[in-house]
Amino acid sequence: MLNKIINRPISPHLTVYSPEVASVFSIWHRITGVVLSLSLVTALVLSKNFVWLNFNPLFISIVNLGLNLVPWLVNFVLASLYLFLYHMLNGSRHITWDLGFSLKISNINFTAWLIMLALVFSLVLYFLNS
């Protein structure tokens, strides 16, 4: 009640600190982990029901109407692979920290930008090959 009267935030920890490279990468690492888990569950559910969809009249009528679901599926798979690449690269960075390597701030920032460079490079390679 006193915090409300004085007009100060209850938990100022998010507003006091400015976002740093390591904290942003850590947050995105957690987000990609959740998204990849959800996409894996979605893929498993869809693959389980795929046999049922082949014989479903609604699915057959959607296919006959010409609604092409393949581009959506390709984009979903590519986005999942890109998220997996980020999660894997950043996870290997976290493992090196757990082993006690690259714990200086300069190394932390360097490896973060190295991950970003690898992600951009992989995206450029994909679009050059397609």
Binding residues, as ranges, are: 87
DSSP state string for 38-62: HHHHHHHHHHHHHHHHHT-HHHHHH
Rounded distance between C-alpha atoms, residue 124 and residue 49, angstroms: 35
Give me the amino acid identity at 47.
S
Cβ atoms of 39 and 80 closer than 8 Å = yes
Residues annotated within a binding site for heme? 87
